[in-house]
Structure 1
Amino acid sequence: MKAAKFEYKKTNALVDALSALSTKGGDCKILAGSQSLGPMMNLRLARPDRLIDIRALSALHEVKQEPNYLFVGALVTHANIEDGALPDVTQGMMTHVAAGIAYRAVRNRGTIGGSLVHADPAGDWPTALRALGAYVVIDGPTGPREVKIDAFQLGAFTVSLEENEIVRGVRVPILSNAARWGYHKIFRKPGEFAESIGAYVCDPSSGIARLILSGTDGAPMELVSTANKIAQTNGVDFNFEAARVALTSTGEVFEPFKLRMHAVALHRAVVQAYGA
């Protein structure tokens, strides 16, 4: 199928894009990499009245290293990250995650900001950036604001972004050389959406430890107490059974095969982190 009729507007400045979003009249969508919106429009699952093309906005392509963070513009592509075009402040984690997203053709056009806003439960960046403790930088008519990533994604395909706001980028904390991380996806074949994702990040220098599960029916799930125990023991005794018990203790109800799959993803992420 082909997309329904829509109005197209290309913007060259952030202020113009914000102005276009604030214009009343019909459903308006942002066009960036179009790796999710494009197929949805062709299938007529999405039928916006207006598309605002932001691909020429230089502010959203910016990459800037700060003392404790790396700012990554929303229009930076997965391929940019995979190819090492950005400073490696996560000890290789972001490069690893980017290289495992779909296919190279998708990575060439798909953007980190688009992935966050789309908020697919099987998406890589919502999971990885949650594990890294990133902040989302948002621009709107009243000025910029920052949102911690765990408060940004509210559920499946749902984020705390107003209709007249644009994600400018993300601020990613810099990991020390002592940091450990693991990231494991379970999928039927390369390029398909993940059925389960386990992500673990521990940095003794800053005292952070996060264990994240995705591939559920909602936003990424953080297992706080389990992550702290793993960090204290360097992953010793965190086996499949320990992962299964940790998931059961969250109070969430999983089908038996899903529970097993999620436990495997979490266990393998921790194994990767500590090289066991």
Structure 2
Amino acid sequence: MKPAAFTYARPADWPEALALLGGGARAQAGGQSLGPMMNLRLAQPGAVADLRHLPGFAGVTVTGATCRIGAGTTHAAIEDGAVPGLLGRILAGVARRIAYRAVRNRGTIGGSFSHADPAADWVAVLPVFMGEAIAFGPAGERRIPLDGFLRGLFETALAPDELLRAIELPLLPAGTRWGHWKFCRKPGEFSKATACVLAVPGAPVRAVLAALDTPPLVIADAGALLLAAPEAEAARIVAGLGPLEPWRAALARTALQRAGLAAREDA
């Protein structure tokens, strides 16, 4: 199918982008979610604001111990090493398992995160870090903790007149351990259960369980998942999610166990 007729706009700066948003335009970054929805006419915006040419929308900068990733940075750029150090190794491993390279060449970290599809990779991973989403609105920049950014299915903490400008993550020290697991029936498919575990020296172990048709579950103290037998802890966490189909609950428990095992064995 072809999309319904719409007006294309290419804002030159952030205030112009906000003005277009206030006028009813739909923001577009890589277009890997909005484009198919428009082709199927599930979304029929009257105008689309292409954010790709905004200053600072893409790119990675490091200031002190903080890494700032522009919301328009593509999955492919992250896969290819745009983010430095141990944090970059972790994010590159996540990025290279997103869909296919053609999608990664255009899809963006900020577009995926703000779209808030519960099965998306960045939705399942970013909340584990003690970082912040940088929103831009009429009053300027506003900081939102990553573990509070996602409010529901396709729902975020962004106000209607705000855009996601960047994501800031702390650089990770030596000795950090990482585990990540997602269930896909074939490459490129959306996950049916995803878990990640982050163990930073001197800090509580954090974990996220996601892709269960609910907002991601952030586990602020997940040290028990690094034990030799984490099955009981995984079962306790999944039981607290409420009723799940047996196959989905089994995938969720297994994802947590395998992410914990991967983190425990990470050198």
TM-score, length-scaled by structure 2: 0.95
How far off is 1:170 after superposition? 0.2
Matched residue count? 266
Structure 2: distance between partners of 1:134 and 1:108: 25
Q: Which residue of 1 aligns with 2:84?
A: 87
Alignment RMSD: 1.5
Change in 2 beyond 3 A, CA 1:228/1:125: same
On the 8 A contact 2:191/2:211 being kept in 1, the answer is: yes
Q: Does 1:8 align with 2:8?
A: yes
Q: Which residue identity does 2:253 align to in structure 1?
A: A
Q: Which residue in the other structure is 1:255 paired with? A: 245
Q: Cα offset for 1:28?
A: 2.2
Query: What SS class does the counterpart of residue 85 from structure 2 fall into?
Result: coil
State the secondary structure of the residue aligned to 1:92.
helix
Asked whether the 8 Å contact 2:116–2:154 carries over to 1, the reply is yes
Counterpart in 1 of 2:257? 267
The runs of 5 or more residues in structure 2 that have no matched partner are none
User: 2:237 matched to which residue of 1?
Assistant: 246
How far is 1:118 from its partner?
Answer: 0.6
Which of these residues, 223, 227, 238, is aligned with residue 228 of structure 1? 223
Query: Following the alignment from structure 1 to structure 2, what is the Cα–Cα distance between the partners of residues 38 and 263?
Result: 34
Match of 1:215 among 195, 211, 218: 211
- The corresponding residue for 1:176 is 173
Residues 89, 66 of structure 1: alpha-carbon distance in 2 compared, 3 angstrom cutoff = farther
Q: Is the 8 A contact 2:60 2:82 kept in 1?
A: no
Q: Which amino acid aligns with 1:221?
A: L
Separation in 2, partners of 1:144, 1:193:
32
Gapped regions of structure 1 (runs ≥ 5): none
The answer to whether the 8 A contact 2:57-2:72 is kept is yes
Paired with 2:236 and 2:126, the residues of 1 have a C-alpha distance of 25
CA offset digits 1:179-226 (Å, max 9, x no partner)? 111110101000000000011001023x1321111111221012334x
| Residue of structure 1 equivalent to 2:188 | 191
Q: Does the 8 A contact of 1:200 with 1:273 survive in 2?
A: yes
1:139 alignment partner in structure 2: 136
Determine the C-alpha separation between the residues in 2 that align with 1:266 and 1:228: 12
Q: Report matched runs for 1:2-41 at 5 Å.
A: 2-23=2-23, 27-41=24-38
- Equivalent residue of 1:117, what SS? helix
Contact 1:71-1:170 at 8 Å conserved across structures: yes
In 2, the alpha carbon distance for the partners of 1:91 and 1:56 equals: 24
